[in-house]
Amino acid sequence: MGAEEDKQKSIPVLPWMRSPIDVSSFDECPLTLLPCLDPRLKVALENMEISSLFPVQLAVWQETIGPGSFERDLCINSPTGSGKTLAYALPIVQMLSTRSVKCLRALVVLPTRDLALQVKEVFSAIAPAVGLSVGLAVGQSSIADEISELINRPKLQLGVSFDPEDFLPELQSSVDILVATPGRLMDHINNTKGFTLEHLCYLVVDETDRLLREAYQSWLPTVLQITRANDESFLPCAHTFLPSPFSLKTIRRSGLERGFKGKPYPRLVKMVLSATLTQDPSKLAQLDLHHPLFLTTGQKRYQLPEKLQSYKLFCESKYKPLYLVALLQSLGEEKCIVFTSSVESTHRLCTLLNSFDNLPFKIKEYSGLQRQSVRSKTLKAFRKGDIQVLVSSDAMTRGMDVEGVRNVVNYDMPAYIKTYIHRAGRTARAGQTGCCFTLLREDEVKRFNKLLRKAENNSCSKYSVPSSYIEPLHSVYESALEKLKETVEMETSRKRKTGFKSSLSGERK
């Protein structure tokens, strides 16, 4: 495909996407100059060592708390590490800060557990300052524990007798904001008594392009249908009812009805975000957006962080692991994530690296092949700095924010620019510098150059590992390969045995 065709393809089809708000025209804004910021939230932000808002955060603030006043749904395409989480968390928390009755009013959906945990941390750092509670529905704990965290069963006062005719204790939400993954969200929608989206005012779909591929039990149509049904029951006259303490009626944002015929009057506000937001009309249609406003950064559809330096490193296929080890050694002990193309190669590569004697860093794998508890433990150790090199498959690392990751290595070349963006984006976050290295065979170079041309800030220099790092590794490499072979054989026979045992126990049942 020629450059002209690439350009054509990047022109958005949807009219509202053709005249976006360019986030790069915004500057950082000190908290002291931010209009309408609740002083309690200012203190909470300062406790997080945040003294100003990043451009995307200011742009979103203007469209929500500022003059935009949440009147349109927001589609936000902003580079990795630009601060999208706080961009939606802060205005939602500020908007909900005046509510006195507790019920579930904001739902944030994310594709993975670790990501949901990370986003919950951000909400938890600001929401309590204004008396709001944040819940998590990701399947980290048992469903029973999760339910008791999310649902409050009001206790009847001892000694006071109620006529059951007059009083039926209602289950109420213990949280105002819920961060969830699609699977557990659907579990609660389908099975948890007292769990309701009836009062939902804000829906955030983070990592939208990834989540739109996640059709898990049709979570998105279900959420939209529940909230829409509720929207439609809120005819303007319903506002005249006085809310009783036991049957709460929520009045959602009264969006401008004028000009938006056919849209429910008090509506659910949606915010959708990604560093690689889809422009595909059929995919975006699934979100049923209300008069959407597109916020994006720069001219090109794909943006790499401003302070990211990309490098390509040529190597023979046969010696790739050896080049990787030499590269890691040359980078020193700073935290690094190494990406491979599959869960299997993640496991193999990690095993091989651990078969090298005396490497001066600790290496662990992180992939969808592992149990969640193992993954979470690894991630925790990586955050703490107990592990320096994380060998990872793609699926798990979108949005992951780990302080101190200075380098990312594409051991296997990514097949798509989107993959490159999300992998490289684990470094150079929040305005910091960072490097992304891609190991390439000769026959991959042309394809890689073409792939990178699709992004802005795409300069990519050649990187050579000093031969003094490579030469001494040849003999160690041979013995590491031998050890790998032994480990693979051991693992295969262990799997065969456990497979045999479980098939036997299956027969006994």
Ligand X SMILES: Nc1ncnc2c1ncn2[C@@H]1O[C@H](COP(=O)(O)OP(=O)(O)OP(=O)(O)O)[C@@H](O)[C@H]1O
Interface residues toward ligand X, by CB under 6 A: 50, 52-54, 57, 78, 80-86, 275, 399, 401, 425, 429-430
Query: In the complex, what is the shortest distance from the CB of residue 429 to ligand X, in angstroms, rounded to a whole number?
Result: 5
Within 10 angstroms of residue 19's Cβ, the number of other Cβ atoms is 10
Query: In the complex, what is the shortest distance from the CB of residue 314 to ligand X, in angstroms, rounded to a whole number?
Result: 28
Query: In the complex, what is the shortest distance from the CB of residue 180 to ligand X, in angstroms, rounded to a whole number?
Result: 17
Query: In the complex, what is the shortest distance from the CB of residue 86 to ligand X, in angstroms, rounded to a whole number?
Result: 5
Query: Residue 129 or 186: which CB sits closer to ligand X?
Result: 129
Q: State how far the Cα of 44 lies from the Cα of 504, in Å rounded to an integer.
A: 57
What tokens were used for 366?
């992180």
Backbone angles phi, psi at 169, to 5 degrees: -60, 125
Query: Residue 147 or 338: which CB sits closer to ligand X?
Result: 338
Query: Residue 267 or 335: which CB sits closer to ligand X?
Result: 335
Strand 253-254 and strand 266-267: the pairing is antiparallel
Q: State how far the Cα of 12 lies from the Cα of 277, in Å rounded to an integer.
A: 11
Query: In the complex, what is the shortest distance from the CB of residue 171 to ligand X, in angstroms, rounded to a whole number?
Result: 33
Whose tokens are 């990043």? That residue is 54
Query: Residue 85 or 173: which CB sits closer to ligand X?
Result: 85
Among 334, 290, 321, CA closest to 428:
334
Query: In the complex, what is the shortest distance from the CB of residue 385 to ligand X, in angstroms, rounded to a whole number?
Result: 16
90 with 126: CB under 8 angstroms?
Answer: yes
Query: In the complex, what is the shortest distance from the CB of residue 18 to ligand X, in angstroms, rounded to a whole number?
Result: 23
Query: Residue 56 or 480: which CB sits closer to ligand X?
Result: 56
Query: Residue 105 or 398: which CB sits closer to ligand X?
Result: 398
Backbone angles phi, psi at 380, to 5 degrees: -60, -45
Among 56, 54, 67, CA closest to 295:
56
Q: State how far the Cα of 329 lies from the Cα of 323, in Å rounded to an integer.
A: 10
Q: Which residues make Cβ contacts (< 8 Å) with residue 134, sequence separation at least 6?
A: 120, 123, 124, 127, 175, 176, 177, 178, 179
DSSP conformation class of 244: B
Query: Residue 188 or 429: which CB sits closer to ligand X?
Result: 429
